Structure 1
Amino acid sequence: MTNPYRSQPDHCFWSRAVVAAPPGQLDPMVGSPFRITPDMKVATLGSCFAQNIARHLQRSGLNYFVPETAPDGLSSDEAAARNYGVFSARYGNVYTVRQALQLFDRAFGALQPKEDVWARGEVFVDPFRPLIEPEGFASPQHVRDAATTHLAYVRRVFSEADVLVFTLGLTEGWRSREDGVVFATAPGVAGGVFDPERHERVNFTAREVSDDLQAFCDRIAGINRDARILLTVSPVPLIATHRAEQHILSATTYSKAVLRVAAEEIAQANPHVSYFPSFEIITSAHSRGSYFEADLRSVREVGIAHVMRVFSRHFLINEDAPAGSVPPPCATVPTEADVVCDEEVIERALRASGFSS
């Protein structure tokens, strides 16, 4: 019999494609699904790791699309603290696919959450982006007015972007028992009060995530038929799990496995959707753990640089083009500041209450 593996290329073999790859040179992509030209509007959405791609896009001189820009007179530090330019709009971190789906539905008037304002001491916050105003809002109406303005920009992001980079982060979340909406954080962490009669934890299944992701991609295609969607999975582990019956390592493994399966299923089923393996580059045995900081969560700059080299090789028309050759439309995108990670509010809230993790 003829060995069916005899004709397979090198990238199909672990010894040739992974073991033999020089340090920092592992490239898990086979071919380039499309190229990003300087005239394309590129938008970002998702977990905190997506911010690294946003920064790279700006440095590469591409058209990073940020319609929701900071007001005049706001310093770059103040703008970043208020989430201007961190993503294409001020939605904060969108960790679960269900959050992205409901963001679309809210932006286009198909969903009006029953619980749309949380109190935080004497101020008020938006349950779907509770950290975008560090000092909070003065009244519930201010929260609702700001949300209305914000969602108009979200419509532009989804309607006008030529490429939408969506980084999948988590499967765990907290949702309302009343209408099923998923909040950005657990009630009581960054605002609001947890009420077991009104709120519940959720850990989405592989089928639910795949169905949600397909629905999200269908909605984008329905209002922006030529848009390309580039899916990635964040390599950053969960900071905490709400599942007391499961170890954080197992909870993280489940979450990332589900997201990776969903990304693969949807990319295979939709010609306008592609997958980029940032997760594999950072977590691969090839890196021998060298791409994580001492906390084993934060990704080191050397790892991010590796991810962006592969991204440039496969998606940018001319990766050697000088930065700034095409002026970015928003000057407030942070280039060196720390990544803004809403999930870290969990531990900050615990420390503030005297709990030592």
Structure 2
Amino acid sequence: MGEHTQAEVLNVGEIEYKLVPNRYLVTEKVFDENFGYRAICERAKAAFERTSTETPLTTEHLHLLKGQLASEVCQSVIDEFEQDQQGIRHESVAQVLIEQVFNEDLDEQIRSYFNSEYCIFWWSIEKVASTDEQSSVSARWHCDAGPTKHLKVIVYLNGHDEHKSDTPFLDKQATDKLKEIGYIFNNYNDRNTNITPLCEHFNVNYNPQSLKPSVGDAVIFNPNQVAHRALPPIPEKTRYALHFCVLPSALHWRDVIENRYFPVYGCQDFMEFAAICKKMTTQALLEEDCIEIATDYQVSNEQHLEYLLANIFSNISLAKALFNHIKSSDFGVAENNNLFALLRFIKNTIISQFDSKQIIQSDWVKALSEIAEYEKSFLDASNCYRIDNKPNPAAVFWPNPEHQASPLSKFDMLPYVEKQPIMDINTPIGSAGSCFAFEIAKHLQQAGYNYVITERNDDALSGLVVDGYQPGDQYAKFCANYGLLFNTPSFLQLAEKAFGVRHFNKLLIQHESGYYLDPYRDNVAFETKAAYLADYDSHLEAVRSALLECKVFIITLGLNECWQLQDGTFLSRTPRENMHHLVNHRSLTVQENVDFIQGFFNIIKQHNREFKLVVSVSPIPLLATGRADEHHVISANCYSKSVLRVAAEQLVANNQDIYYLPSYELVTECCHDAWEPDSRHVKPKTVARVIEMFKEMYVL
């Protein structure tokens, strides 16, 4: 490759170096692009099914495996080589050696490095006698021109302690630097055995690594990625070694050897393998057969039968045994037997293995259990979209008002499936959450439910102000004056404070209006610091009393975005202007939201065993997003509600006494005219529909 490329001459001390800077880029392009090796690697990775594990070779491009070939085998190979150098090249010899060398340990190293299967391109037995270093090209520092991803495996048939021959290596960083300055991949005859002055000149870390392998040891390395040289044997000594060139492959190396390509003897041109690989890929595609699935559950071909059995039974040997039994039993897939007849036949075959006079084999017990699981899975899949066996037949398909047989409008339905009567109108009930939660609280009180109220604000001289509530009002905002709770950590903090689980600082924020604000209680203000302190303990007692009295409690999850104080606690809403030095903006994960509400529920449940929680997601969208550098507020709102909805689903799945009220779905999908003109708040009639749905779902 480019033997006549013009080189730059650099004299360092008394040594002349000829350099072709960045020649490696040309080499990479020729092999990886022109010869197609990058595509070969990508196809191999895409087809890879076996697991691989990280090994030292993966990161260092070099590894030594001790005792890869038994010493007696090594000596036998040397003896046969000396007796008949032509005869030892026969494929039968190669087959025996390859099976012994490419054992499980070496296999793990190679597939881990490639992250794919691989094949053996060529092999050879090398005999090296002592010689003048300068006369041998391989004795000079170099990398092998070839694909960037290939490996060489050298198995030493006699050890370093006998001949002192070795293969010193430089690390990847030093090699890359030598590539850039143009020493690596310069012309063959311009390479040197002494590159110490060159490395010192370019500040390259020259620290050769010698492995000093013993008899039977295998050196695995990428000769394209680490600079190396062959250190000749000492005088009157000879080194013998097996050499293998290994390349990525979409097929297992045994499959390649047995059916497609047998590694030839002696070093080969990589261009030849690219053509071989293309031929193997074409052959594999021609040999590949599809699994044809016939209509009406007919099992009409052997591929379908084999595929079914492999999916039913985890024991592959048992599946193959059943496959062979079915083929030899006159059952015959050629007769277009259907799946149901096949399953009956398999069950009868398995049951016939249970002989009362013999010990029951666990494999057959497991097989019977697996076919029962398969039949149940088949039945579940078959009934998945049936409407005649569902609690609410209208819940299966999206309502279509233009459907000819069953016209339905989503505006005429409530989006729930089953009723779960957990209360009556006299059951103590409470609520908390965002402004949508207040609307629910108001309608529950108007509808005559036993809404628990342990704290109002009817003392005009208390110095406490609750937004939207005037002393003497008929309807309370919430059970107690905890204000609006927009994010899930605020619920946990409410329970932690009420039951003394965690210490909180008494933070009081002075507002420009002159009022004082508690950052944990949105829409609640104090005229003086004294009013805040006087209310603090009595408020927590009121919260605790409400949570102990309520048997059903409705919460609405409002926002996924929130603000966290430096001490780890969360604001109930957004920070005031004089708080930005104390807070960080957060976007909570699904799991964080689940954990916060689970913590809230667990604390209350410890003190109130009858406590049941109904979770809903507020349909009211974000007023603003703190993620506008990357997301529009509408997109951010969709994400926020999606995260909260998934969190609610997990909470219900994880807890017997947590339920989901689909108010979000009702408002956003099933209400024709749900919104006030601001497009953010819902009309009273919309909330009334939510309460109607709550009553249908949960009230006796």
Q: Same fold (TM over 0.5)?
A: yes
Matching of residue 250 in structure 1 with residue 635 in structure 2: yes
**Amino acid corresponding to residue 125 of structure 1 in structure 2:** L
1:219-263 CA distance string (max 9 Å, x none): 121111111111111000011111232210111111111111111
Partner of 1:42: 429
Shift in alpha-carbon separation, 1:25–1:305, aligned structure 2, 3 A? farther
Match for residue 131 of structure 1 among 523, 526, 546: 523
Q: 1:255 and 1:67 mapped to 2: Cα distance?
A: 32
Q: 1:17 and 1:221 mapped to 2: Cα distance?
A: 43
Q: 2:540 and 2:659 mapped to 1: Cα distance?
A: 26
**Amino acid corresponding to residue 124 of structure 1 in structure 2:** Y
Unaligned runs of 5+ in 2: 1-296, 298-378
**Amino acid corresponding to residue 543 of structure 2 in structure 1:** V
Partner of 1:185: 573
**Amino acid corresponding to residue 599 of structure 2 in structure 1:** A
Partner of 2:547: 158
Match for residue 170 of structure 1 among 559, 584, 608: 559
Shift in alpha-carbon separation, 1:207–1:23, aligned structure 2, 3 A? closer
Q: 2:614 and 2:400 mapped to 1: Cα distance?
A: 24
**Amino acid corresponding to residue 569 of structure 2 in structure 1:** V
Q: CA deviation at 1:72?
A: 5.6
Match for residue 223 of structure 1 among 607, 615, 622: 607
- Larger-gyration structure (1/2): 2
Tell me if structure 1 keeps the 8 A contact 2:432–2:478.
yes
Match for residue 664 of structure 2 among 276, 279, 300: 279
Q: CA deviation at 1:23?
A: 6.4
SS at match of 1:249: helix
Tell me if structure 2 keeps the 8 A contact 1:125–1:137.
no
Q: CA deviation at 1:294?
A: 3.0
Q: 2:489 and 2:574 mapped to 1: Cα distance?
A: 15
Partner of 1:57: 444
Matching of residue 241 in structure 1 with residue 621 in structure 2: no
Partner of 2:685: 302
Q: CA deviation at 1:30?
A: 1.5
Q: 1:281 and 1:128 mapped to 2: Cα distance?
A: 30
**Amino acid corresponding to residue 38 of structure 1 in structure 2:** I
- Give the structure-1-normalised TM-score: 0.78
Shift in alpha-carbon separation, 1:253–1:81, aligned structure 2, 3 A? farther
**Amino acid corresponding to residue 111 of structure 1 in structure 2:** R
**Amino acid corresponding to residue 155 of structure 1 in structure 2:** R
- Give the structure-2-normalised TM-score: 0.41
Tell me if structure 2 keeps the 8 A contact 1:237–1:252.
yes
Match for residue 110 of structure 1 among 501, 513, 516: 501
Unaligned runs of 5+ in 1: 318-357
Q: 2:573 and 2:682 mapped to 1: Cα distance?
A: 22
Q: 2:421 and 2:558 mapped to 1: Cα distance?
A: 24
Q: 1:183 and 1:266 mapped to 2: Cα distance?
A: 23
The percent of aligned pairs where both chains have the same amino acid is 30
Shift in alpha-carbon separation, 1:14–1:303, aligned structure 2, 3 A? farther
**Amino acid corresponding to residue 308 of structure 1 in structure 2:** I
Q: CA deviation at 1:277?
A: 0.4
Tell me if structure 1 keeps the 8 A contact 2:485–2:522.
no
The size of the alignment, in residue pairs, is 305
Partner of 1:86: 477
Tell me if structure 1 keeps the 8 A contact 2:385–2:396.
no
Q: 1:187 and 1:249 mapped to 2: Cα distance?
A: 22
Q: CA deviation at 1:194?
A: 2.0
1:7-61 CA distance string (max 9 Å, x none): 3432342245888444642121112222422331101111111122212222222
Matching of residue 142 in structure 1 with residue 142 in structure 2: no
**Amino acid corresponding to residue 386 of structure 2 in structure 1:** S
Tell me if structure 2 keeps the 8 A contact 1:67–1:157.
yes
1:240-293 CA distance string (max 9 Å, x none): 111232210111111111111111111121111100100001111x446x3123
Q: 1:151 and 1:115 mapped to 2: Cα distance?
A: 13
Higher relative contact order (CA 8 A, sep 6+): 1
Tell me if structure 1 keeps the 8 A contact 2:395–2:416.
no
Greater mean alpha carbon deviation, residues 258-267 or residues 36-45 = 36-45
Shift in alpha-carbon separation, 1:186–1:314, aligned structure 2, 3 A? closer
Tell me if structure 2 keeps the 8 A contact 1:81–1:132.
no
**Amino acid corresponding to residue 500 of structure 2 in structure 1:** G
Shift in alpha-carbon separation, 1:125–1:294, aligned structure 2, 3 A? closer
Q: 1:173 and 1:145 mapped to 2: Cα distance?
A: 29
Q: CA deviation at 1:96?
A: 0.8
Greater mean alpha carbon deviation, residues 11-20 or residues 100-109 = 11-20
Tell me if structure 1 keeps the 8 A contact 2:428–2:549.
yes
Q: 1:78 and 1:292 mapped to 2: Cα distance?
A: 22
Tell me if structure 1 keeps the 8 A contact 2:489–2:570.
yes
Greater mean alpha carbon deviation, residues 234-243 or residues 144-153 = 144-153
Matching of residue 27 in structure 1 with residue 427 in structure 2: no
More helix by share: 2
SS at match of 2:412: coil
SS at match of 1:296: coil
Shift in alpha-carbon separation, 1:6–1:291, aligned structure 2, 3 A? closer
CA RMSD of aligned residues (A): 2.6
